[in-house]
């Protein structure tokens, strides 16, 4: 099976080598859990491996993302060069519309040979729908459009809680090919970042809850370590 290495330290090991190619994964987590950082690093590592990527931002502007990621990952300082070389594209659609998002990704594949895509976040789109059923239907249609494209995507989904115990299943948990859950877990007087691969169709993977850190040079997932 073809796999796409995330390039994120520790995560590929948990995934038995990487995300199965052409699958569409949700990165699920509460506010500030690290969704944008993880997805951005996925594109960055891809660009360095020679796989161009497109970041479709539905919330933050391109400048915000470049600025925020520049301060989160100060040691990753060649993002602007990669953008000039079209190895990383960051786009903000005019409309909150999944069909338009799929169109943007398709266009980037044809024009720049994009292999990786990020959609941040689907929650913005979800909020534009009046009913859950309508959103679910549109999400299905969006996924079938994506499945026709030669790219492997991560979509962020905002959880209403950062707590693992209070986590409930959302629509995205059922329809996406894989789910990576990110948490901010309270431990005494501090919070620890942790992640787990809740599902990943087509591959064996770690089912452990493991701690991770956002460091200046990238995310580090501490495989084999315990959160408690
Ligand atoms: N330089 C840094 N070093 C360590 N941690 C940082 C640094 N910069 C940002 N952070 C942490 O990362 C968090 C933001 O991460 P990120 O934006 O990836 O989360 P998110 O899940 O996308 O958040 P949101 O729900 O706001 O979209 C910040 O709240 C902060 O705790
Ligand atoms: Mg974010």
| Distance, CA of 128 to CA of 131 (rounded, Å) | 9
Nearest atom of ligand 1 to the alpha carbon of 39: 18
Q: If DSSP codes are grouped into helix, strand and coil, which group holds residue 192?
A: strand
**Which residue, judged by its Cα, is nearest atom 14 of ligand 1?**
32
d(CA 11, CA 95): 33
Residue of 8, 29, 36 to mutate, ligand 1, most atoms within 8 A of C-beta: 36
- Best of 34, 194, 212 for a ligand 1 pocket test (most atoms within 8 Å of beta carbon): 34
Distance of alpha carbon 103 from alpha carbon 85, whole angstroms? 21
DSSP single-letter state for residue 135: H
Query: Which residues have their alpha-adjacent CB atom under 5 A from ion ligand 2?
Result: 35-36
**pLDDT surpasses 90 at 54:** yes
Q: How far is it, in rounded angstroms, from Cα 49 to Cα 175? A: 29
Q: What is the pLDDT of residues 99-111, one digit of tens each?
A: 899 999 999 999 9
- Tell me, in angstroms, the distance from the centre of ligand 1 to residue 31's CA: 9
> What tokens does 135 get?
């959103």
Ranges 91-95, 136-140, 212-216, most confident: 212-216
- Maximum pairwise Cα distance, the chain: 51
The two three-digit tokens of residue 70, written as one number: 């520049």
| Adjacent-strand bridge partners of 27 | 156, 180
pLDDT tens for each residue of 66-86: 999 999 999 999 999 999 999
188 vs 126, more confident: 126
Q: What is the distance between the alpha carbons of residues 38 and 95, in angstroms, rounded to a whole number?
A: 25
Ligand 1 binding pocket, CB closer than 6 Å: 29, 31-37, 71-72, 158, 214
Task: Please tell me the residue having the least CA distance from ligand 1 atom 7.
Answer: 72
Closest ligand to Cα 30: 1
Residue in this structure with the two tokens 């005494």, named with its chain if needed: 188
Cβ neighbours around 22 below 10 Å, total: 18
Local confidence band at 29 (pLDDT 50, 70, 90 cut-offs): very high
Write down all domains in the chain, each with its CATH number in brackets. 50-160+170-181 (3.40.50.300)
pLDDT band at 52 (very low <50, low <70, confident <90, very high): very high
Would you call 176 exposed, middle or buried from its count of C-beta atoms within 10 A (0-12, 13-18, 19+)? Answer: buried
Of all protein residues, the one whose alpha carbon is nearest to atom 13 of ligand 1 is: 32
Main-chain phi, psi angles of 54, to 5 degrees: -120, 135
pLDDT of 62 higher than 80: yes
Using the mean position of ligand 1's atoms as its centre, give its distance from the Cα of residue 33 in Å: 7
pLDDT at 88: 98
Is the model's pLDDT at 172 over the cut of 80? yes
- Whether residue 167 has pLDDT greater than 90: no
Q: How confident is the model over 144-166, as a mean pLDDT? A: 89
Atom of ligand 1 nearest to the CA of 156: 22
Per DSSP, the three-state class of 144 is: helix
Q: Whose CA is nearest to atom 25 of ligand 1?
A: 31
């Amino acid at each position: 099976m073809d796999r796409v290495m995330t390039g994120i330290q520790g995560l590929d090991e948990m995934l038995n080598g990487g995300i199965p190619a052409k699958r569409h994964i949700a990165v699920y987590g509460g506010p500030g859990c690290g969704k944008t950082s993880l997805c951005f690093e996925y594109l960055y590592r891809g660009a360095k491996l020679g796989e161009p990527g497109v970041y479709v931002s539905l919330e933050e502007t391109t400048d915000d993302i470049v600025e925020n990621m520049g301060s989160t990952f100060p040691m990753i300082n060649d993002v602007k060069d990669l953008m000039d070389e079209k190895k990383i594209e960051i786009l903000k659609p005019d409309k909150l519309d999944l069909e338009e998002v799929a169109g943007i990704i398709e266009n980037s594949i044809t024009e720049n040979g994009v292999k990786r895509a990020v959609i941040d976040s689907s929650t913005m789109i979800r909020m534009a729908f009046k009913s859950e059923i309508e959103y679910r239907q549109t999400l299905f249609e969006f996924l079938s459009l994506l499945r026709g494209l030669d790219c492997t995507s991560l979509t962020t989904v905002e959880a209403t809680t950062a707590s693992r115990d209070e986590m409930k299943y959302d629509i995205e948990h059922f329809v996406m090919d894989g789910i990576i859950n990110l948490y901010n877990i309270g431990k005494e007087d501090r919070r620890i970042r942790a992640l787990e691969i809740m599902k990943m169709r087509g591959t064996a993977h770690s089912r452990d809850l493991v701690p991770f850190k956002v460091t200046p040079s990238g995310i580090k997932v501490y495989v084999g370590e315990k959160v408690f």
